[in-house]
Amino acid sequence: MKILVVGGGGREHAIIKKIKENEKVTKIYALPGNGGIAADAECVDIGAKDIDKIVEFSKEKEIDYAIVAPDDPLVLGCVDKLEEAGIPCFGPRANAAIIEGSKVFSKELMKKYNIPTAAYEVFDDINEAVKYVDKAKLPLVVKADGLALGKGVVIATSRGDALTAIVNCMQNKVFGESGTHVVIEEFMEGPEVSVLAFTDGKTVVPMVSSMDHKRALEGGTGPNTGGMGTIAPNPHYTDEIAKECMEKIFIPTINAMNKEGRTFKGCLYFGLMLTKDGPKVIEYNCRFGDPETQVVLPLLESDLLDIMMAVTEERLSEVEVKFSDKSACCVIAASEGYPVKYDKGFEIKISKKVIDHVYVAGAAKADGKLVTNGGRVLGCTAVADTLEEAIADAYKLMEGVSFENIYYRHDIGYKAVNVKKA
Ligand code: AMP
Ligand code: GLY
């Protein structure tokens, strides 16, 4: 089988490495992929948002199955266009990807179908938003409606901060059209859990839970990033909470999307907060999380491609989705200064001993060498019997990786270990 993977980060590298385990796979193309992915797939210089070229390429190469991994092409209708060209795909169509593409849509969906989430108001008039902030309880959370590379959320602890966020979004348009509408919502407190789930619109199968570490610096300080490391499973996510989430959040969401005529097929990501009033949805993503995928897929014992194809063919209930009961930890190595300002172009050295455990994100090939080409450069994932061992092993793996200006957090998973001990 000839497989196409749209995207070019660590998440896509993890998907590709897993897909390769399937004997039916004869060829994998990554669009655009990256310098590290090139060791596992043929990378072709077509951007993930260049839908027409992706479709043209797929037809030309007679692709048997396509996996669209990032949010942008999903929201732009990449799956719709590939399907129209007769290529079966993993990923939601545009009318379902809106669950991530518009926060206004997802909040209204949750309100309509009684799915627990933070209380909120939507504004398209800046004066109304300002008036609301004058009276509302602090802290407040201000969110741009559309996709904003994970940067469209501001937790405002003062009215001044909330007003700045609103002006930046609605007037200065720092997120472009994504900020035409803003959602202002109640601040929730509690541990966060990421749950990715396979769904074909009929059945929903949650994967092993995970914990992201979004802040750039140790101890959860510094600016928000795309994610500096992950562990799985998340110790906060007990069997009891999992059952509650299934009943109150996962199944109701799938049913709600069906009722709206927007059947979701693919991987639905539930960003959850375990508040004192029960689990609530922080956000939905219409795709695998990054770097959650880099700890979830290494724990998957069943065949990923078989599951994905079952999702596409709406027979998910017929396949086995089995996870190991081990633990995994992924530590992300970034360029010093990420997410604000950083240099690129430094040679990356990865020792042969660790290469199987490395997922490459921001890297390119230059003169035959692998060089840094982004903020998050790569991730090292270890799987072990216990979380403590997985963390220690992930940091050991990191010793097999080097590049100038490397930066990584040294405390990935530490909080989770303490939860387990408590
Ligand atoms: P997002 O970019 O939507 O993933 O949001 C980034 C982070 O902001 C989340 O991981 C949460 O830590 C935080 N966040 C978002 N919404 C809320 C909320 N209503 N209350 C508290 N924290 C929030
Ligand atoms: N790690 C969070 C995300 O993928 O959006």
**Euclidean distance between CA atoms 372 and 365, whole angstroms:** 9
- CA contacts within 13 A on the Cβ side of 291: 34
On the question of pLDDT at 173 being above 90, the answer is no
Give the per-residue pLDDT at 119.
Answer: 93
Give the per-residue pLDDT at 172.
Answer: 87
Q: Which of 406, 363, 358, 362 is nearest to 380 (CA)?
A: 358
Beta bridge partners of 197: 206, 268
400-416 pLDDT, tens digit per residue, is 999 999 999 999 999 99
Give the per-residue pLDDT at 150.
Answer: 63
Give the per-residue pLDDT at 160.
Answer: 93
pLDDT mean across residues, the chain: 95
State the distance from the centre of ligand 2 to the C-alpha of 269, rounded, in angstroms.
Answer: 9
On the question of pLDDT at 151 being above 70, the answer is no
Ligand 2 first shell, C-beta below 6 A: 150, 212, 227, 285, 289-290, 292
32-68 pLDDT, tens digit per residue, is 999 999 999 999 999 999 999 999 999 999 999 999 9
Range with lowest mean pLDDT among 10-19, 174-183, 353-362: 174-183
Q: Indicate which ligand has the atom closest to the C-alpha of 226.
A: 2
On the question of pLDDT at 149 being above 70, the answer is no
Give the per-residue pLDDT at 83.
Answer: 98
Q: What is the DSSP string of 144-162?
A: ESS--TT--EEEESSHHHH
State the distance from the centre of ligand 2 to the C-alpha of 47, rounded, in angstroms.
Answer: 20
Residue type, 411: D
On the question of pLDDT at 174 being above 70, the answer is yes
pTM for this one?
0.95
| Residues 354-382, mean pLDDT to the nearest whole number | 97
On the question of pLDDT at 177 being above 80, the answer is no
Two tokens at 150?
């994970």
| Residues 283-301, mean pLDDT to the nearest whole number | 98
- Check if the beta carbon of residue 101 is closer than 8 Å to that of residue 285: no
The rounded percent of the chain whose pLDDT value lies above 70 is: 99
Which of the four pLDDT bands, split at 50, 70 and 90, describes residue 224? Answer: confident
| Residues 238-267, mean pLDDT to the nearest whole number | 98
Report the nearest atom of ligand 2 relative to the CA of 11.
4
| Residues 181-209, mean pLDDT to the nearest whole number | 96
